Amino acid sequence: MNRLITEAQLNISVGELKASIDDLLKDVKIDTKHDVPYTAGYSVNDKTVYIDHEVPKFMTTKEGRKVDVWRFLVVHEIIEKSMLMTHKLDYPHAHQIALRMEQATVEDEDRVSWNEYNTWMMKVVDDVQNRKEWPNVPKDLDMTPYKDLNDKTTMRNMHVKEGAMGLTLIKRLNESTKPIF
């Protein structure tokens, strides 16, 4: 039988995963200078991934290895934004797909157990989300996750300026309903 796709291409490959992720990351700007209430997010135009300024770049595993967690977060955000834009999924569904890709990246690329990584990351997420306010949110942060979860409290505490593209998106999506704030 003459196959156009080789057996090696059909099998799971850590090397191919790494190469694919490298390709995903090459054209994305990473910004770590802002407040991002859900720990990480993306710009409305999908050109920038935002990681909250307090998220450490590395975690140290139980074995003492340093692992770049920003890479995992960026993979998650790129996949999530793609699912929202291209496939018109709602945020919870897009998030689940992105979370599974993040898990595969964590386990395959860096040989870290998902449980160890996720336990560490949930502490970081809690630290970011337990703030009372987020005064320095990127002006073009995509607000879809906050809108889809109807998270009015977080949106109020973001101090998003009236002209912010993310806020404009929310207003456009809610034109027929009462204001979010």
Which CATH number characterizes residue 38's domain? 3.30.2010
Tell me whether residue 115 is in a domain: yes
The whole-angstrom distance between residue 112's C-alpha and the CA centroid of its chain comes to: 19
Tell me whether residue 23 is in a domain: yes
Tell me whether residue 28 is in a domain: yes
What pLDDT score was predicted for residue 105? 92
Q: pLDDT of the chain along its 181 residues, tens only?
A: 556 666 666 666 777 778 888 888 898 999 999 999 999 999 999 999 999 999 999 999 999 999 999 999 999 999 999 999 999 999 999 999 999 999 999 998 778 999 999 999 999 999 999 999 999 999 999 999 999 999 989 998 987 654 455 554 444 344 434 444 3
Tell me whether residue 139 is in a domain: no
Query: Mapping DSSP to helix (H, G, I), strand (E, B) and coil, where does residue 138 land?
Result: coil
- Number of domains making up the chain: 1
Tell me whether residue 144 is in a domain: no
Q: What is the domain extent for residue 31?
A: 11-133
Structure tokens at 57: 């770049």
Tell me whether residue 47 is in a domain: yes
CA dist 45 and 166 (Å) reads: 10
- What does pTM read for this prediction? 0.83
What pLDDT score was predicted for residue 177? 43
What pLDDT score was predicted for residue 166? 55
Angle between helices 91-109 and 114-129 (to 10 degrees): 130
The four Cα atoms 26, 86, 180, 42 give a dihedral, to 10 degrees, of -10
What pLDDT score was predicted for residue 19? 82
What pLDDT score was predicted for residue 179? 41
Is residue 142 within 8 A of residue 41, CB to CB? The reply is yes
What pLDDT score was predicted for residue 110? 74
Tell me whether residue 18 is in a domain: yes
Tell me whether residue 176 is in a domain: no
CA dist 1 and 17 (Å) reads: 27
